[in-house]
């Protein structure tokens, strides 16, 4: 069983690795190497997360309206996912518990359903925003 101190170190290592990977991906994007969407490459359809990099860059530049053009759902879903993730991390640090409860599983299922519906709607022929 890990101690609280060792769990904190483990979480910080993982957060650092994620931040480093995001920094590398963002750096590649700024010099012209975008991250291709595998779903769009294989099917030609936009997935629920298509446009996230461009949306994030526009948000960082203060172009909120332009950012929403690239992806309309993730600015609303991402804060929920962040709060959920932070809650899980804090619970893991305090208790060492890493399994999800029934309600947490339902919450994740609801988010997945919302993203799937958005993915279908954004690919309908009359969808007003083309990326």
What is the C-alpha separation between 115 and 77, in angstroms, rounded? 9
Query: What is the model's pTM?
Result: 0.76
Cβ distance 33 to 27 under 8 Å? no
Residues 6+ apart with CB under 8 A from 88: 98, 100, 104
- Burial class of residue 51 (count of CB atoms within 10 Å of its CB; 0-12, 13-18, 19+): buried
What is the C-alpha separation between 113 and 80, in angstroms, rounded? 14
Residuewise pLDDT in 10s, the chain (131 residues) = 788 899 999 999 999 999 999 888 878 877 877 777 888 888 888 888 888 888 888 888 899 889 888 888 988 999 999 999 999 999 999 998 989 999 999 999 999 999 999 988 888 887 665 54
């Amino acid at each position: 069983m890990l101690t609280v101190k060792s769990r904190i170190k483990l979480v910080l290592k993982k957060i650092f690795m994620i931040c480093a990977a995001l920094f590398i991906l963002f750096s590649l994007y700024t010099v012209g190497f975008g991250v291709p969407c595998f779903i769009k490459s294989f099917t030609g359809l936009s997935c629920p997360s298509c446009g996230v990099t461009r949306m994030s860059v526009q948000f960082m530049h203060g172009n909120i309206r332009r950012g929403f053009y690239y992806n309309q759902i993730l600015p609303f879903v991402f804060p929920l996912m962040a709060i959920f993730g932070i809650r899980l991390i804090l619970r893991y640090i305090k208790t060492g518990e890493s399994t999800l409860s029934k309600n947490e599983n339902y919450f994740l299922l609801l988010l997945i359903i919302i993203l799937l519906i958005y993915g279908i709607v954004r690919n309908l022929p009359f969808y007003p925003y083309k990326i």
